[in-house]
């Protein structure tokens, strides 16, 4: 490629990047829960930099019920309430509109377990709609009609999908190019290349008699790189040997 072509490519790529900023819509009965998380720190900066567009929707606004009800008793009996299909299906349809390539994700303990690989995949999507469930969950027909994937953040049950949605939003957003200051720092992070990150140290070099490994202050970049690689492998071997097995396989 000629220099001019490279410049044109960069310009187009940059242009496309801006126009295809990731939009994340969240459907919840507790919209206020998201304010502190989305409007602080890196999530706030990501929006200001136009890397991501967060929109939080109050599910009750979509209910046809005069009391803005969004739940009902389960058919077949049993404890608790189930979120009704109408508000959820209408909300998804309205929020999606005519946009193509929007992934609808239901936060669900029975979904696929969230991982760095899934976060990376989602960070490249055009649009995500996250549904936060409550009570005993949602009417199964919502999944059949509008949900593309269900994601769990781990094998435990929470009271609602809000915290799981925040986990997904945070992990995905920090992977969007331009959100974190130094992109390079992402490559060494835990779970990239199926390794945990090496130990990190900062000033002072001697804390309570515990000194930093000498190599880190040697200025020898190759030696530092090798030390960090070896530490990452050793640490993974010790705490998460399952990751190394995946790496080989
Ligand atoms: N009765 C359901 C649990 C409902 S928990 C069951 O046994 O599967 C209520 C809501 O919290 C769910 O609808 C889901 O949106 C959310 N939730 C709870 N735990 C979760 C987890 N580990 N990952 C993702 N979402 C979760």
Q: Minimal CA–CA distance to 188: which of 225, 237, 242?
A: 225
Q: How far apart are CA 142 and CA 147, in angstroms?
A: 7
pLDDT value of position 188: 81
Strand-pair partners of 143? none
- Supply the DSSP symbol for 74: P
**How far is residue 51 from each of residues 54, 98, 136, 177, 241, measured CA to CA in Å?**
10, 22, 35, 8, 35
* Mutation pick for ligand 1 pocket among 104, 109, 149, 150 (CB with most ligand atoms within 8 Å): 109
**Would you state the pLDDT for residue 214?**
98
pTM: 0.91
For the chain, state the CA radius of gyration. Answer: 22
User: How would you write the pLDDT of the chain (249 residues) with one tens digit per residue?
Assistant: 565 665 555 555 544 444 579 999 999 999 999 999 999 999 999 999 999 999 999 999 999 999 999 999 999 999 999 999 999 999 999 999 999 999 999 999 999 999 999 999 999 999 999 999 999 999 999 999 999 999 999 999 999 999 999 999 999 999 999 999 866 578 788 998 899 999 999 999 999 999 999 999 999 999 999 999 999 999 999 999 999 998 765
Question: So what's the pLDDT on residue 119?
Answer: 98
Is 70:83 a contact under the CB 8 Å cutoff? yes
**Predicted pLDDT at 129:** 99
CA of 166 to the centre of ligand 1 (A): 14
Q: Roughly what angle, to the nearest 10 degrees, separates helices 162-173 and 116-123?
A: 70
Residues forming a β-bridge with 72: 82
Measured from the CB, is residue 59 less than 6 Å from ligand 1? no
């Amino acid at each position: 490629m000629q220099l001019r072509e490279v410049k044109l490519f960069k310009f187009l790529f940059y242009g496309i990047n801006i126009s295809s900023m990731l939009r994340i819509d969240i459907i919840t009965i507790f919209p206020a829960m998201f304010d502190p998380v989305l409007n602080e720190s890196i999530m706030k900066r990501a929006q200001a930099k136009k890397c991501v567009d967060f929109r939080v929707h109050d599910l009750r606004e979509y209910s046809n019920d005069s009391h803005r009800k969004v739940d009902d008793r389960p058919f077949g009996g049993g404890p608790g309430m189930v979120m009704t299909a109408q508000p959820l299906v209408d909300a998804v349809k309205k929020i999606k509109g005519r946009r193509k390539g929007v992934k609808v994700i239901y936060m669900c303990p029975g979904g696929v377990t969230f991982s760095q690989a899934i976060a990376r995949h989602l960070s490249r999507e055009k649009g995500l709609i996250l549904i936060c469930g409550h009570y005993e969950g949602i009417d199964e027909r919502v999944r059949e009609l509008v949900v593309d994937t269900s994601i769990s953040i781990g094998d435990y049950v929470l009271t609602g999908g809000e915290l799981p949605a925040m986990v997904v939003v945070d992990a995905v957003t920090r992977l969007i190019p331009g959100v974190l200051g130094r992109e390079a720092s992402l490559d060494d992070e835990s779970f990239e290349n199926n390794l945990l990150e090496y130990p990190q140290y900062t000033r002072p070099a001697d804390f309570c008699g515990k000194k930093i490994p000498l190599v880190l202050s040697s200025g020898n970049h190759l030696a530092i790189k090798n030390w960090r690689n070896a530490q990452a492998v050793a640490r993974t071997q010790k705490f998460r040997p399952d990751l190394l097995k995946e790496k080989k396989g």
